[in-house]
Amino acid sequence: MRLLIINGPNLNNIGKREPNFYGNISFKEYFNKNLTSIPGFELSSIHTHKESEIVNILHESDNNYDGIILNAGAYTHTSVAIRDAITAISVPVVLVHISNVYAREIFRNKNLIAPVCKGIITGFGLQSYKIAILSFLD
Amino acid sequence: MRLLIINGPNLNNIGKREPNFYGNISFKEYFNKNLTSIPGFELSSIHTHKESEIVNILHESDNNYDGIILNAGAYTHTSVAIRDAITAISVPVVLVHISNVYAREIFRNKNLIAPVCKGIITGFGLQSYKIAILSFLD
Amino acid sequence: MRLLIINGPNLNNIGKREPNFYGNISFKEYFNKNLTSIPGFELSSIHTHKESEIVNILHESDNNYDGIILNAGAYTHTSVAIRDAITAISVPVVLVHISNVYAREIFRNKNLIAPVCKGIITGFGLQSYKIAILSFLD
Amino acid sequence: MRLLIINGPNLNNIGKREPNFYGNISFKEYFNKNLTSIPGFELSSIHTHKESEIVNILHESDNNYDGIILNAGAYTHTSVAIRDAITAISVPVVLVHISNVYAREIFRNKNLIAPVCKGIITGFGLQSYKIAILSFLD
Amino acid sequence: MRLLIINGPNLNNIGKREPNFYGNISFKEYFNKNLTSIPGFELSSIHTHKESEIVNILHESDNNYDGIILNAGAYTHTSVAIRDAITAISVPVVLVHISNVYAREIFRNKNLIAPVCKGIITGFGLQSYKIAILSFLD
Amino acid sequence: MRLLIINGPNLNNIGKREPNFYGNISFKEYFNKNLTSIPGFELSSIHTHKESEIVNILHESDNNYDGIILNAGAYTHTSVAIRDAITAISVPVVLVHISNVYAREIFRNKNLIAPVCKGIITGFGLQSYKIAILSFLD
Amino acid sequence: MRLLIINGPNLNNIGKREPNFYGNISFKEYFNKNLTSIPGFELSSIHTHKESEIVNILHESDNNYDGIILNAGAYTHTSVAIRDAITAISVPVVLVHISNVYAREIFRNKNLIAPVCKGIITGFGLQSYKIAILSFLD
Amino acid sequence: MRLLIINGPNLNNIGKREPNFYGNISFKEYFNKNLTSIPGFELSSIHTHKESEIVNILHESDNNYDGIILNAGAYTHTSVAIRDAITAISVPVVLVHISNVYAREIFRNKNLIAPVCKGIITGFGLQSYKIAILSFLD
Amino acid sequence: MRLLIINGPNLNNIGKREPNFYGNISFKEYFNKNLTSIPGFELSSIHTHKESEIVNILHESDNNYDGIILNAGAYTHTSVAIRDAITAISVPVVLVHISNVYAREIFRNKNLIAPVCKGIITGFGLQSYKIAILSFLD
Amino acid sequence: MRLLIINGPNLNNIGKREPNFYGNISFKEYFNKNLTSIPGFELSSIHTHKESEIVNILHESDNNYDGIILNAGAYTHTSVAIRDAITAISVPVVLVHISNVYAREIFRNKNLIAPVCKGIITGFGLQSYKIAILSFLD
Amino acid sequence: MRLLIINGPNLNNIGKREPNFYGNISFKEYFNKNLTSIPGFELSSIHTHKESEIVNILHESDNNYDGIILNAGAYTHTSVAIRDAITAISVPVVLVHISNVYAREIFRNKNLIAPVCKGIITGFGLQSYKIAILSFLD
Amino acid sequence: MRLLIINGPNLNNIGKREPNFYGNISFKEYFNKNLTSIPGFELSSIHTHKESEIVNILHESDNNYDGIILNAGAYTHTSVAIRDAITAISVPVVLVHISNVYAREIFRNKNLIAPVCKGIITGFGLQSYKIAILSFLD
């Protein structure tokens, strides 16, 4: 099963930034140590700060992956474009939030992308990625 | 690891009710077939329509379980009492939504309980329970 | 035709409380004098202060009654659980308000239950119950 | 007992228009077949698309009828003028909605006229008129 | 100086209706007794329940009057059409409210017409008309 | 192809009123000079200040025209009745705004009629009518 | 008849400030030339920038004047204290606005004082004071 | 003087839970040590997590107590049923909040019960109960 | 124990004004008869209509009193300055409302000062002051 | 006449995505078959998912085109940057929406770009582009 | 160049109060040590708790100063009177906030005065005054 | 001291665009003439229309600069991504607005970036940059 993890803006320096929200391990470390070893999955991972790049990756992933794990970062709360891209493709997208967005600033309660996703994993730290992968098991 | 699954109001007849949102297998069937076989967990499950009963169960579970998986059903959107009960205990609570609450009526976007939970699993159907259990692995 | 009248919180002391809104005859008196005599109906009536009990009664009524007449009292404005219970059963529910809820406090304008009912009778005093019964005639 | 039924804008072509909301019998047919035969009432019925005409009819009905059954159609949600006309007369007005306005577009939840009516009948299809007539029995 | 008084919906039965808001003298009586005698003015007065008629009268008054005194009644709070008509003509319009609209239902606080008027007289009872006339003195 | 242009309130004096929003040519002039000459269309045009008249015309046009071009003027922002009339007929309606309603008062942003129209032309001055006619070409 | 005119903050330099809203004559000039000559009134006038002073003056005027003409300036939109002072006395208060507050910034639409006044005169320039005085004639 | 103290949901473990909001003494300890010794009062105290139970207790207390001290906990912010119960009885109810609800989450600012109470004591910790008792002295 | 009672705007004529809200005894009478006799307190009392004076008194009281009892009157709902003054001093402030502000106009629900006070006493009439004093006993 | 068509995010796969909103022909096909043949225009067309790229194109088009036809897709509802770019250039921009944005999700009703455009064409499917081109004829 | 610094309510005890927001040096110290030494300026400074006093000072400063540096403290968020005073004078006013008002309570986001100022300096601590002075250099 | 000035979308053509808001000198001219000469600073400046580029520059600047001066242009009001980037780095960021954003469209009042900046300079035209640089002096 081929899965693509897309990480959006500011997710390159997890591990250094606001450790009370995001912990202190980088995504790369976690990816190599905790995710690649899960049997049954062929994992790819990509990072970009660009809203348009995420739109692009989603369009192009349509026939090449069995599932997308998307952490849209800040765009979760503002991007109609990414939402439209998800409705335009047929590969299932699972949305991931590292921190508990419900417990932070009020503007993080607004979620434009969640309504068009297959499922949402919120608040488990970097472990949220692992849970998202496991959600593709059944 | 001892986990308690608490199912709130109207969750007794999942499988019969609104299959487009909830699928057509009952929680019991799913529990027996898909959850009890997960190795490493000792699972209990309880159902109640009563808000006050959920408050009670949460208080009493505090020293008896290693984790709670809570599907508060309709009370997710209206109960300050359950929220207060969760902040009053120390056992971690994972919140579960069977359907994608973001994609339904607007009043289901308001979530009084999520801000005080360890993590939230949303929209994977009954599989959401399995994912919640797996989230206790690490 | 078997009908069940469900009266919610605080409706036990109609006739004593706030007569300008609710009149000064108790529901029991009215029931015995004005409703039981309507030909063609087998009427039952139940009162409870409990939100969860109403949910319960609705679930259990599904095969035993041809219609429900529900006065949810205060829960009309706050209960997602009762709303969910009505969508979960197939027996038709007619919602009844004794007073004109449109003409009272602003929070009584919010009606969580009405959108999932077959019809709504508002503001005719205790006579609202009689009208609700007659609505099952055709 | 003399009753006047006032039908507002767009209610002339019920039976043809949006059958999922309004059914497929015209008001005239229903009136002749189901309403005129109710014993004890002398029924009149009038239709107009004009807000000002409804205001006018209400003023003039004040001494000529024992009750008004008003389906204000779209003006239910926008007309302060009709509301003021009802407060200006003493004949009781029962408001009627064919469809369940609570379950449609959000702007149909706003009801400017209901607060000044004797009672409101909502959502029983054309049968709403019959129920409204029966409400004048006691 | 030629002035036209336009009275909108429901203002024909002032004196009978809701005396706590409108007093108990009819506009006609007041007009004949208190207004026609004011020196220096040639007064006309017209009443209509129709929003479109008020639009019409405003258009036609443009060259025939030196001033308009408008009591738009309920349309004050709902009519963009009358507002547009006032901006389309050059004769000055003084808006009149018999009752203190600030002290009544919240929807009467919304005033679509006032922003395009020369001045507004509010809450002096029928005397508001007299004050409006006097406002044309200078 | 038979088209009917319906002009609503205050649109009779375009060309004189607020030239910065509406230009300085009257609709009649524009109609005769710019619209009647478009090949392939049989054009009629009607003007009324009355909301109810527009409802009426829409009902009656249903079998007599291939398309409606509607400039509802102020009623665009306030009329549920016209909206309901459009949903009640099957002839396609194209909505026209002479001025850019998005760039004016905030209440002109609310558009009750647009959601039930085939298409909307906004802000091209009187040329908006010509564009609307051309939209029926395909 | 003894009347007291109270002018609130910033009303000392009318005539110099924002002439498009307030004209270019000072209140003093206008008072001496246009108001003192009105027969039948004994006029006093006072100016203060202080909210508390206006409260004070209102309390003390209770037995010394037959009427108050209040231009509360900016406090119109922010002062609950002045509102409370007016409800605490029995002398009638007429509220005066020089400019058309409905046609300016949105925060000037909020009027905390108007609901407790006898009447309101809005938008006639300095002439608003004269009209307010004349309103005490009857 | 007979007083009944009603403690609502989650108030059984005050003293253990969130000590910064609630202090670290349990209600029972405080009751025995600080309240029972106040001369002139016969005190009873009851705890329940159930909204419906509070409704019930209020109804039954009507003739048996001279006053009620109610800490409705989370239901303060969500329960119309308890509000209705208070308006339905004649014994005076004093509402008590241990913590300063104004200084916490925004949803704790909404108070459905306070408007129908005799008085409200907020923010003095467990001492709030003592103050509430003393309020019955006069 | 030295306490200072600060009374804000319009509280000088309690006893005469709106007796349904404030009763008919003046603060002075009540103070002399009911408060000065409470053992253990050295009471001072001050009244001012001025927001800035209250700010001043609060600053100066910081080392001279053991507690402040503040009835800020209308400023409760509008004054950020008084709120800031309370956070700037260390003497505890108890906020007092004579009437039940929750049960009056909606703008009295907004309370800018309560979040920074030690406790709040609401709705007991003049007795609120006595209760506030007693709250300093422990 | 040189026109530039700018297509924003997700508009590359029109014809495949959500055919009920967008139809099933691609923009390219439509462009080649229906637009290039319109006499009198020299058409260019460009597509990008990038907000910043649209800003850039607008700046550079200023002297090279006689008109812009912009379908900003999702950015219509969120981009202040594109709005600012349009106000910064002098070439006229016509805004195009393929679907009827008024009849979809509520967030599509907010239009940040429309207020600064020359005109807006909404809801005619791909034909909207043709209509936009024709709008440049006069 | 003559500049006047106006400090509003509660700004007299900066240095003692809430040091995390305001630091721990008093304005006087800072003024003497850091501001008076800036070459090219003749500085005055005044402090008052009174809204009306600030209005007054602004009026009187009009011909006596080349610029005003205003820290309106709490009045920033509530005073229409100060706003009106600034629009009534011609000397430029620079608004200063010591703390970052965007990052504190939500009511401090509302700024009634900023729209009529020449510029705004926010969040640099006492250094904000120095920056404001330097802003008058060019 | 090394400072980096980041200019966001549409800021490349300051000097040509909307001169009433932005003046008529380009940033480059101003930079060369007015900023580079300030002693004690080593200034760099970069312009981009891309939100993601600004995120990127902020991440990379973390160890290379002593301060950032950011004019985020339109992204000020919409970008959570830039906000998150600022919280992720440790170099202090001063936010700059050329125009007085408080005095323009209402959507420019919403500022997502300001709460996480060291300070904010608003409305001094291009001089705002100079003031921002000077703010790094102390």
| pLDDT of res. E3 | 98
Residues near L19 by beta carbon (within 8 Å), at least 6 away in sequence: none
**Separation in Å, CA of I24 to nearest CA in chain K:** 32
Nearest chain K residue to G17 by CA: give it: K88
- Which single residue is written with the structure tokens 């920056």? K131
**Mutation for I interface: H77, H102, H105, most I CBs within 10 A:** H102
Helix (H, G, I), strand (E, B) or coil at F96: strand
Residues of chain K with pLDDT under 50: none
The pLDDT value recorded for residue B17 is 74
**D108 CA: distance to closest CA in chain F (Å):** 9
Do the chains contact at J85 and L9, CB–CB below 8 Å? yes
Chains in touch with J (3+ beta-carbon pairs under 8 Å) read A, F, L
User: In degrees rounded to 5, what are phi and psi of residue B96?
Assistant: -125, 130
Distance to chain I for H138, nearest Cα, Å: 8
Question: Mind telling me how many Å the CA of C108 is from chain H's nearest CA?
Answer: 9
**Cβ–Cβ gap J52/L17 under 8 Å:** no
Q: A125 vs chain L: nearest CA distance in angstroms?
A: 17
Cβ within 8 Å of residue D32, ≥6 positions away: none
Which parts of chain J register pLDDT below 70? none
> What is the arithmetic mean of pLDDT over E65-92?
96
Tokens of A15: 């591990």
Is chain I adjacent to chain K, meaning 3+ CB pairs within 8 angstroms?
A: yes
**In 3-state terms, what secondary structure has residue D66?**
coil
**In this structure, are strands L119-122 and K67-71 parallel, antiparallel, or unpaired?**
unpaired
d(CA K102, CA D4): 60
Q: Which residues of H touch B (CB under 8 A)?
A: 8-10, 12-13, 16-18, 48-51, 53, 73-75, 77-78, 107-108
Contact G100 E121 (CB under 8 A): no
Report yes or no: F16 and F29 within 8 Å, Cβ to Cβ: no
Q: Which of the other chains make 3 or more beta carbon contacts under 8 angstroms with chain I?
A: G, H, K
The residue of chain J nearest to residue A85, with distances taken between CA atoms, is: J10
Partners of residue L78 in chain J, C-beta under 8 Å: 78-80
Contact list, B16 vs chain C (CB under 8 Å): 88
User: SS3 of C13, please?
Assistant: helix
Strand partners, C67: C3
Are the Cβ atoms of A78 and L83 closer than 8 angstroms? no
Beta-carbon separation of B55 and H12 below 8 A: no
Pairing of strands B93-97, B67-71: parallel
Is H30 known to be catalytic?
no
Cβ contacts (< 8 Å) between B79 and chain H: which residues?
74, 78
Query: Sign (positive/negative) of CA torsion D30, D33, D34, D38?
Result: positive
What are residue I92's DSSP bridge partners? none
Binary contact (H74, B88; C-beta < 8 A): no
The pLDDT value recorded for residue A62 is 86
pLDDT digits (tens, 9 = 90+) for D67-94: 999 999 999 999 999 999 999 999 999 9
Taking the CA of residue H77 and the nearest CA in chain C, the distance in Å comes to 11
Out of C16, C49, C78, whose CB is closest to H52?
C49
Query: pLDDT tens for residues D90-137?
Result: 999 999 999 999 999 999 999 999 999 999 999 999 999 999 999 998
Nearest to A78 among L53, L59, L80 (CB): L80
Q: Residue C108 belongs to what H/E stretch?
A: none
Q: Which residue numbers of I are catalytic?
A: 22, 97
Query: pLDDT tens track of chain F, all 138 residues?
Result: 999 999 999 999 887 777 777 778 899 999 999 999 999 999 999 999 999 999 999 999 988 999 999 999 999 999 999 999 999 999 999 999 999 999 999 899 999 999 999 999 999 999 999 999 999 987
Tell me how far apart the terminal alpha carbons of chain A are, to the nearest angstrom: 11
Closest residue in B to A112 (Cα) is: B102
Q: Any idea what the Cα angle at residue J124 is, between residues J118 and J129, rounded to 5°?
A: 55
Partners of residue A87 in chain J, C-beta under 8 Å: 17-18
Asked about H97 being catalytic, the answer comes back as yes
Looking from the CA of H37 toward its CB, the CA atoms found within 13 Å total 5
Q: Please identify every residue of F annotated as catalytic.
A: 22, 97
On whether the CB atoms of residues I99 and I22 are closer than 8 A, the answer is: yes
Tokens 């209040």 found at: G70
Inter-chain CB proximity B81 and H10 less than 8 Å: yes
Question: From the CB coordinates, do chains B and I have 3 or more pairs under 8 Å?
Answer: no
The minimal CB distance from A10 to the residues L53, L55, L78 is found for L55
- Residue C111: its pLDDT value, please? 96
CB L79 within 8 A of CB L39: no
Q: How would you classify residue J17: left for phi > 0, otherwise alpha for psi between -120 and 50, otherwise beta?
A: beta
- Chain D residue numbers with beta carbons less than 8 Å from the beta carbon of C119 are 100, 121-124, 128
Closest approach of chain L CAs to the CA of K121, in angstroms? 5
pLDDT digits (tens, 9 = 90+) for L64-122: 999 999 999 999 999 999 999 999 999 999 999 999 999 999 999 999 999 999 999 99
pLDDT band at E137, cuts 50/70/90? Answer: confident
**Whether B85 contacts H16, CB under 8 Å:** no
| Closest chain K residue by Cα to residue G106 | K112
- Across the interface, of H118, H119, H123, the residue whose CB is closest to I119 is H123
For residue F114, what pLDDT is reported? 96
Beta strand G119-122 with E119-122 is antiparallel
Q: How many CA atoms lie within 13 A of K46 on its CB side?
A: 16
> What is the structure's pLDDT at B19?
79
pLDDT tier for residue L21 given thresholds of 50, 70 and 90? confident
Count of structural domains, chain G: 1
Give CA–CA dist G123/G110, Å, rounded. 15
Average pLDDT over residues C29-37: 94
CA proximity to K79, closest of G10, L109, H103, E110 = G10
Structural domain boundaries, residue C123: 2-137
For G2, other C-beta atoms within 10 Å of its C-beta total 13
**Set of chain A residues whose Cβ sits within 8 Å of the Cβ of J24:** none
Q: What is the dihedral of CA J84, J89, J95, J101, to 10 degrees?
A: 0
What contacts J106, CB < 8 A, 6 or more positions away?
none
Q: How far is H49 from chain B (nearest CA, A)?
A: 5
- Cα four-point dihedral sign D12, D17, D20, D24: positive
Percent residues over pLDDT 90 in chain B: 86
Instruction: Please report the pLDDT score of residue F24 as a whole number.
Output: 82
Sign of the Cα torsion J87, J88, J90, J93 reads negative
Between CA B39 and CA G73 the distance in angstroms is 75
Is chain L in touch with chain K: ≥3 Cβ pairs within 8 A? yes
Q: What pLDDT is recorded for position F62? A: 86
Task: Tell me how crowded residue J3 is: count the other CB atoms within 10 A of its CB.
Answer: 21
Of residues B92, B72, B102, the one with CA closest to residue B133:
B92
Chain segment B86-116, per-residue pLDDT in tens: 999 999 999 999 999 999 998 999 999 999 9
State the best of G34, G86, G124, G130 to mutate against chain E, taking most chain E CBs within 10 Å.
G124
Instruction: Return the residue of D nearest to E18 by Cα.
Output: D88
User: Nearest chain B Cα to H48, which residue?
Assistant: B52
The residues, ordered by sequence, that sit 6+ positions from I52 with a Cβ below 8 Å of its Cβ are I81, K9, K48, K49, K50, K51, K53
User: DSSP letters along chain G, please?
Assistant: -EEEEEE-TTGGGBTTB-HHHH-SS-HHHHIIIIITTSTT-EEEEEE-S-HHHHHHHHHHHTTT-SEEEEE-GGGGGT-HHHHHHHHH--S-EEEEESS-GGGS-GGGG--SSGGGSSEEEESSTTHHHHHHHHTT--
CB–CB contact F74 E88 (8 Å) = no
Taking residue A39's Cβ as centre, other Cβ atoms within 10 Å add up to 4
Q: Which chains touch F (3 or more CB pairs under 8 A)?
A: D, E, J
Cβ contact A53–L50 (<8 Å)? no
A4 forms beta bridges with A44, A68
pLDDT bracket for residue I42 (50, 70, 90): very high
Q: What is the mean pLDDT of residues A73-84?
A: 96
pLDDT, residue F68, reads 98
**Structure confidence at residue B63 as a pLDDT band (50, 70, 90):** confident
Q: Is the dihedral of CA B76, B81, B82, B87 positive or negative?
A: positive
**Token duo for residue D74:** 């779209």
Q: What is the mean pLDDT of residues G100-127?
A: 95
Tell me the CATH number at E105: 3.40.50.9100
Distance from chain centroid for Cα F94: 7
Instruction: Give per-residue pLDDT as tens, C101-123.
Output: 999 999 999 999 999 999 999 99
Residue D43 CB burial class (10 angstroms; 0-12, 13-18, ≥19):
middle
Q: Report the interhelical angle of C51-61 vs C80-88 (nearest 10°).
A: 0
Q: Are J27 and J36 in contact (CB under 8 A)?
A: no
Q: Is the dihedral angle over the CA atoms J68, J71, J75, J77 positive or is it negative?
A: positive
Name the DSSP class of E17: B
The Cα of B114 is separated from the nearest Cα of chain A by a number of Å equal to 6
Residues of I in contact with K51 (CB under 8 A): 51-52
Confidence band, pLDDT 50/70/90 cuts, at residue C20: confident
Contact assessment for residue C81 and residue B9, using Cβ atoms and an 8 Å cutoff:
yes
Q: Is the pLDDT of residue A104 over 80?
A: yes
Please give the structure tokens belonging to residue A106.
Answer: 């009020």
Most D-contacting residue of C99, C106, C118, C138 (CB-CB within 10 A), to test interface: C138
DSSP A62: T
Chain C residues touching chain B at CB-CB below 8 Å: 50-53, 55-56, 59, 78-81, 83-85, 87-88, 112
Query: CB–CB of G38/G81 below 8 Å?
Result: no
